[in-house]
Amino acid sequence: MPRVTTSNIKIKLPGILAKHFSSKEILALLLDKALNKSEYYLSKCKELEQKYGSDLASFRKGIEESRQESFSGWDDLLLWEGYELSYQEWKKKYEDIVSCME
């Protein structure tokens, strides 16, 4: 896996919290957030795969080549592309956080 560029940051926490959280625990919380987000967007992609019985590339090709205009199809295509981009973005964030924990 390629090396991720990292930055040190300083976080201000109330004293009572600072005593209970290590940097590894904070990274674990960020990791959990990234995993939850990526799984959410993946589930939205899967819903559309089930709805249309195809993957995104096939669905896009069908919409673009269709002789009949389908506004709901175009709407779903835009949503699906957004979900896919968001999934890829959060998956990358997850992988980057994992590499920081090694």
Average pLDDT over residues 40-67: 97
How is residue 70 annotated by DSSP? -
- Per-residue pLDDT, averaged over 65-90, amounts to 96
Residue 90 CA to residue 38 CA, distance in Å, equals 5
Residue extents of the structural domains in the chain? 23-101
Would you state the structure tokens that stand for residue 81, as one six-digit string?
Answer: 């592309």
| Mean pLDDT computed over 42-55 | 98
In angstroms, what CA-CA distances link 3 with 64, 66, 75? Answer: 39, 44, 38
d(CA 84, CA 89): 9
* 3-state class percentages of the chain: helix first, strand second, coil last, to nearest 5: 75, 0, 25
The pLDDT assigned to 1 comes to 56
Model confidence pLDDT, tens digit, residues 25-46: 889 999 999 999 999 999 999 9
